[in-house]
Amino acid sequence: MAEKNQKEKASYNALNLALESNHRELKKLKEKNNSWEKSWEEYASSNKTSLDPEKEFQKVEAQNLRLLLAEDDDFPELLKEIPWPPHGIYLLGQSEIPNKNLLGIVGTRKATSTGKEIARSFAREIAKTGFTIISGLALGIDTESHLGALDAQKQTLAVLATGLDSIYPKINTALAKKIIQNGGAIISEYPLESPALPHRFIERNRLISGLSNGILIVEAPEKSGALATARFALDQNREIFVIPGPINHPNFKGSNRLIREGAALVTSPEEIIEVLAPELLSLNKTSVEEKLKLATTPEEKIVVEALLKAGKPVNIDKIAELTNLNAKITNQVVSFLIIKNLIKETENGYTI
């Protein structure tokens, strides 16, 4: 059985390469032959090709990639139910993709500093409750969304419009590595050496929404790819949340239109969690209450409360400023809280 599945994967990968990921042609062959192996045999017999399925699949394995076919048990359930589902996806990173509590966050590449801050903050706070954040690794809102999840030391998934042998954009190569190191994954339906073609970014967007239980739009201009993601989300029966913005700012014209058309206006992470997974709010609240109880001294309680109010990682000087404690006491209290596992240290500072 394992050998048969390996041949199916190798055959699909070869067809995906030969047909340049033409979804309709792939679907036509699979429906006719009922297997990727037979589909490849038909294609190879009627087309001149130098592709060797086994050698091409060895390249996939050499890159430490996994190929999940739609027929596989570990193929994401959420993707199986969407219109125009992918025939297969390549993964670099974690072995399993969760099937619940996933939120896609998308928006413009040319985001304002406020928009970036909002995306990172929402991603961080929502990830803390147990959600997996999904985005497209693009500059702007996508990047900040991934960083927010990493701030919370939670996994995040990035869906690319290229083959996984090259990260696009290249400037986010280091971010992609951090995502992998933190237990996340980089995902694509395109085979190795697939370039970044314009239509593939639109195709990719349906996977971001398809993998998610809901989509959050942060700063979407009138012709933003985020609006395409929202349309896919609507077709896929996913929840759509939108951060509102100034009526005259071009970065919010698409966002505000989505709200007029019925998307949910949100101004806090809790409003999203209340819709998608309200049980996580009570769990998170209990966790915070327990931490306050376990903070045994007045100084410890002050520091924990200050970090809760901050809502993001802060350095030791900022903690001293927020608590009005002197530097020596602040360092001592923070050290004890880390030992008690009531707070944690990240590369950006200390947080709950």
Q: Is the dihedral of CA 113, 119, 124, 125 positive or negative?
A: positive
- Mean per-residue pLDDT, 16-20: 97
Residues 314-340 have pLDDT tens digits of: 899 999 999 999 999 999 899 888 877
Asked whether the beta carbons of 188 and 164 are under 8 A apart, the reply is yes
Q: Tens digits of per-residue pLDDT, 24-38?
A: 999 999 999 999 999
CB burial string 145-178: b at 16+ within 10 A, e below: bbbbbbbbebbbbbbbbbbbbebbeeebeebbeb
Tell me the β-bridge partners of 68. Answer: 89
pLDDT at 290 over 80: no
Task: Read off φ and ψ for residue 14, nearest 5 degrees.
Answer: -65, -45
pLDDT of residue 335: 87
**pLDDT at 82 (0 to 100):** 95
Whether the ω angle into residue 169 lies within 30 degrees of 0, i.e. cis, is: yes
Higher-pLDDT residue of 285, 216? 216
Q: What's the mean per-residue pLDDT of the chain? A: 92
Instruction: Return the sign of the alpha-carbon dihedral for residues 72, 75, 79, 85.
Output: negative
Contact 101, 132 (CB under 8 A): yes
How much is the pLDDT for 17? 97
| pLDDT reported for residue 310 | 82
Decide if pLDDT at 313 tops 90: no
Residue 1 has pLDDT above 60, yes or no: no
What is the pLDDT confidence band of residue 250, given thresholds at 50, 70 and 90?
very high
pLDDT given for residue 284 in this prediction: 64
Please give the pLDDT value at position 25: 96
Q: What is the mean pLDDT of residues 234-258?
A: 94
Task: Determine the pLDDT at residue 342.
Answer: 82
The pLDDT-based confidence of 4 (bands split at 50, 70, 90) is: low
Amino acid in position 85:
P
Residue 20 CA to residue 24 CA, distance in Å, equals: 11
Helix (H) or strand (E) holding 187: strand 185-188
Contacts of 152 (CB under 8 A, 6+ apart): 123, 124, 125, 127, 128, 351
**pLDDT at position 194:** 97
Residue 136 has pLDDT above 90, yes or no: yes
pLDDT for 99 equals 87
Domains located in the chain, CATH noted: 2-62 (no CATH), 102-274 (3.40.50.450), 295-351 (1.10.10.10)
Q: How far apart are CA 164 and CA 61, in angstroms?
A: 12
- Looking at per-residue pLDDT, the higher value among 210 and 291 belongs to 210
Element housing 214 (H / E):
strand 214-218
Give the whole-number percent of the chain exceeding pLDDT 90: 78
Q: What does pTM read for this prediction?
A: 0.80
**Average pLDDT for 100-108:** 96
Query: What was the pLDDT predicted at 89?
Result: 98
Give 134's DSSP letter: E
Share of the chain above pLDDT 70, in %: 96
Give the pLDDT confidence score for residue 287 in this predicted structure. Answer: 65
Give 120: exposed, middle or buried? Use CB within 10 Å, 0-12, 13-18, 19+.
buried
pLDDT of residue 3: 66
Compute the average pLDDT of residues 222-238. Answer: 93
Rounded Cα distance, 108 and 114, in Å? 12
Residue 291: band (very low, low, confident or very high) from pLDDT cuts 50, 70, 90: confident
Give the number of residues written for the chain.
352
Give the angle 228-202-88 at the CA atoms, nearest 5°: 120
Question: Among candidates 304, 279, 278, which has minimal Cα distance to 290?
Answer: 304
Per-residue pLDDT reduced to its tens digit, 60-80: 999 999 999 999 999 999 999
